């Protein structure tokens, strides 16, 4: 049987400018928070100017990094903890905050570029310690954890670039006292329209968005890390690190089929088998590193999806699809199956070439459309590596012909995945993937 090719089923691709403009506006704008947050208290001057100059927004390049961080700790949290302990909202001393993971002690998860060896966390990232110190004070627990994933360290082989630090705060009342002091300084400055009493931020002079309006060149109040200094010993916590890595390396129970498995059937075959096999220790470390990298990537996409969705109540609904062992949710936005993807390309792909450049996007969108009986779907492409702001995001409305044939192929793939006893019985994944695939040596006929 000849291999199914999705490209001839794409009947029309139209760039949707009005949706693109509306979403770009959302990506650019940042609503100023109305309440004082823990993050505000780590950088008072920036918190002041954020409120006074909501028209100043960081370039998307910078926001991408923030989305990556937000998305990472959310997905990482799910991998190592449980829903009831994640993203716990806390409020005390007129300050609000969200603790990434809070089971017994507050855990703050951070992603960063590589940390310099031989320098303490206090010297390099005092605000991380300040943040966890404030959470400890807010929930009245004298110790916390900081978990750091070093993105650049991910490229070094043989190590999993994850570090846990245990931090004790012997005097929580002193932390609360300093929080009240900072909160009052910020509120006073906002009321009097005068930021001169606010200390300059920790990253003073390093490409801040507010440098054009900030008074820091004349300000005489130097930055303070009093809360970080109130911490007792900051110790590398090998036990917690290992516990987290064990959670990441835990064999997962055989899972149900998802729509993406139909796009990458051979990969799905190997993944499903792996979940019931035991793996060697070296392999586990390699997989943990790979898993963290994939969390980082998935985190970015998830944060981006959240922003695209934000502020559009009722516009988004999830439609369940269930065929034999396939069980998934198709996201409909404004009534259309919608996908958000972040190609790594340095320049935009012309619309006529999209199905050949990104066949996997069209397989997935085609299957989502077919399984929900929608002849048209929408594809958001966010090119993170394109520097020109207006070219970063493209929105395409994609129409498919012969939906019944696409649906038949989806169902055929589900059945094959259920019955296959050898990978050779399954359609190949898109060929560009094979070069990077961990199953390359086991996969036949590639």
Q: Which two tokens stand for residue 56?
A: 């100043």
Q: Based on the shown chain and the rule CB under 6 A, indicate whether residue 339 belongs to the binding site for ligand SF4.
A: no
State whether residue 35 is helix, strand or coil: coil
Helices 172-192 and 126-139 meet at what angle, rounded to 10? 110
Question: Which of residues 216 and 371 has its CB atom nearest to ligand SF4 in the complex?
Answer: 216
| Strand ranges inside 229-355, DSSP E | 234-236, 316-323, 326-333, 336-341
Do 235 and 165 meet the contact criterion of CB atoms below 8 Å apart? yes
Q: Based on the shown chain and the rule CB under 6 A, indicate whether residue 200 belongs to the binding site for ligand SF4.
A: yes
Q: Based on the shown chain and the rule CB under 6 A, indicate whether residue 433 belongs to the binding site for ligand SF4.
A: yes
Q: Based on the shown chain and the rule CB under 6 A, indicate whether residue 203 belongs to the binding site for ligand SF4.
A: yes
Stretch that binds ligand SF4, among 21-29, 129-137, 390-398, 427-435 (CB under 6 A): 427-435
Q: Which residues ranging from 144 to 173 are in contact with ligand SF4 (CB under 6 A)? A: none
Do 44 and 178 meet the contact criterion of CB atoms below 8 Å apart? no
Q: Based on the shown chain and the rule CB under 6 A, indicate whether residue 208 belongs to the binding site for ligand SF4.
A: yes
Question: Which of residues 78 and 203 has its CB atom nearest to ligand SF4 in the complex?
Answer: 203
Q: To which residue do tokens 């954020």 refer?
A: 50
Q: To which residue do tokens 């960063």 refer?
A: 112
Q: Which residues ranging from 250 to 279 are in contact with ligand SF4 (CB under 6 A)? A: 264, 266-267, 270
Partners of 326 in beta bridges = 257, 323
Stretch that binds ligand SF4, among 57-65, 128-136, 157-165, 430-438 (CB under 6 A): 430-438
Q: Based on the shown chain and the rule CB under 6 A, indicate whether residue 446 belongs to the binding site for ligand SF4.
A: yes
Question: Which of residues 182 and 333 has its CB atom nearest to ligand SF4 in the complex?
Answer: 182
Q: Based on the shown chain and the rule CB under 6 A, indicate whether residue 74 belongs to the binding site for ligand SF4.
A: no
Q: Tell the smallest beta-carbon distance from residue 370 to ligand SF4 (Å).
A: 22
Question: Which of residues 102 and 361 has its CB atom nearest to ligand SF4 in the complex?
Answer: 361
Q: Tell the smallest beta-carbon distance from residue 413 to ligand SF4 (Å).
A: 13
Residues 6+ apart with CB under 8 A from 306: none
- Print the binding letters for residues 111-130 with ligand SF4: x by CB under 6 A, - otherwise: --------------------
- DSSP per residue over 205-250, as a string? TS--TTTTT--TTT-------HHHHT---EEE-HHHHHHHHHHHHS
Q: Based on the shown chain and the rule CB under 6 A, indicate whether residue 186 belongs to the binding site for ligand SF4.
A: no
Q: Based on the shown chain and the rule CB under 6 A, indicate whether residue 41 belongs to the binding site for ligand SF4.
A: no
b/e sequence 325-356, b meaning 16+ C-beta within 10 Å: ebebebbbbeebbbbbbbbeeeeebeeeebbe
Q: How many CB atoms lie within 10 A of CB 1?
A: 5
Q: Based on the shown chain and the rule CB under 6 A, indicate whether residue 300 belongs to the binding site for ligand SF4.
A: no
b/e sequence 172-209, b meaning 16+ C-beta within 10 Å: bebbbbbbeebbebbeebbeeeebeebbbbbebeeebb
Do 320 and 329 meet the contact criterion of CB atoms below 8 Å apart? yes
Phi, psi (rounded to 5 degrees) for 148: -120, 125
Q: Based on the shown chain and the rule CB under 6 A, indicate whether residue 204 belongs to the binding site for ligand SF4.
A: yes
Q: How many CB atoms lie within 10 A of CB 15?
A: 11
Contacting residue, 36, 45, 333, 393, with ligand SF4 by CB under 6 A: 45
Q: Which residues ranging from 354 to 413 are in contact with ligand SF4 (CB under 6 A)? A: none
Contacting residue, 49, 149, 169, 380, with ligand SF4 by CB under 6 A: 49
Stretch that binds ligand SF4, among 101-109, 110-118, 139-147, 208-216 (CB under 6 A): 208-216
Residues found near ligand SF4 in the complex (CB under 6 A):
45-46, 49, 200-201, 203-204, 208, 210-211, 214, 216, 264, 266-267, 270, 428-429, 433-434, 437, 439-440, 443, 446
């Amino acid at each position: 049987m000849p291999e199914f090719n999705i490209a001839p089923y794409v009947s029309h691709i139209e760039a949707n400018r009005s949706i693109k403009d509306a979403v770009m506006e959302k990506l650019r704008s940042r609503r100023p928070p109305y309440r004082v947050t823990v993050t505000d208290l780590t950088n008072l001057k920036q918190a002041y100017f954020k409120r006074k100059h909501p028209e100043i927004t960081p370039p998307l390049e910078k926001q991408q990094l923030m989305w990556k961080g937000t998305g990472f700790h959310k997905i990482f949290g799910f991998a190592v903890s449980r829903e009831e302990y994640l993203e716990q909202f806390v409020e005390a001393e007129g300050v609000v905050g969200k603790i990434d993971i809070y089971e017994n002690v507050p855990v703050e998860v951070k992603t960063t570029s590589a940390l310099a060896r031989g320098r303490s966390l206090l010297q390099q990232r005092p605000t991380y310690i300040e943040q966890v110190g404030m959470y400890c004070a807010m929930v009245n627990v004298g110790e916390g954890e900081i978990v750091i994933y070093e993105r650049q360290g991910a490229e070094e082989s043989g190590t999993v670039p994850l570090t846990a630090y245990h931090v004790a705060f012997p005097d929580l009342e002193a932390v609360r006292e300093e929080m009240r002091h900072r909160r009052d300084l910020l509120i006073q400055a906002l009321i009097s329209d005068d930021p001169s009493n606010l200390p300059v931020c920790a990253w003073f002079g390093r490409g801040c968005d507010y440098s054009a309006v900030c008074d820091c060149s004349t300000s005489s109040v130097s930055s303070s890390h009093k809360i970080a200094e109130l911490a007792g010993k900051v110790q590398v916590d090998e036990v917690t690190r290992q516990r987290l890595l064990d959670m990441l390396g835990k064999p997962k129970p055989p899972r149900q089929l998802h729509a993406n498995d139909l796009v990458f059937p051979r990969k799905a075959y190997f993944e499903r088998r792996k979940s019931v096999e035991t793996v060697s220790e070296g392999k586990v470390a390699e997989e943990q590193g790979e898993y963290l990298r994939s969390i980082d990537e998935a985190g970015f996409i998830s944060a981006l999806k959240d922003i695209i969705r934000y502020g559009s109540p009722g516009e988004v609904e999830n439609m369940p699809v269930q065929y034999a062992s396939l069980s998934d949710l198709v996201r409909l936005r404004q009534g259309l199956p919608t996908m958000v993807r972040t190609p790594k390309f340095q320049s935009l792909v012309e619309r006529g070439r999209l199905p050949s450049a990104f066949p996997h996007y069209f397989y997935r969108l085609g299957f989502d459309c077919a399984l929900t009986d929608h002849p048209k779907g929408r594809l958001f492409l966010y090119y993170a590596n394109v520097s020109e702001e207006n070219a970063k995001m493209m929105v395409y409305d994609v129409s498919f012909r012969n939906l019944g044939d696409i649906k038949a192929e989806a169902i055929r793939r589900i059945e094959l995945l259920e019955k296959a006893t050898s990978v050779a019985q399954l359609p190949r994944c898109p060929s560009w993937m094979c070069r990077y695939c961990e199953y390359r040596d086991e996969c036949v006929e590639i």
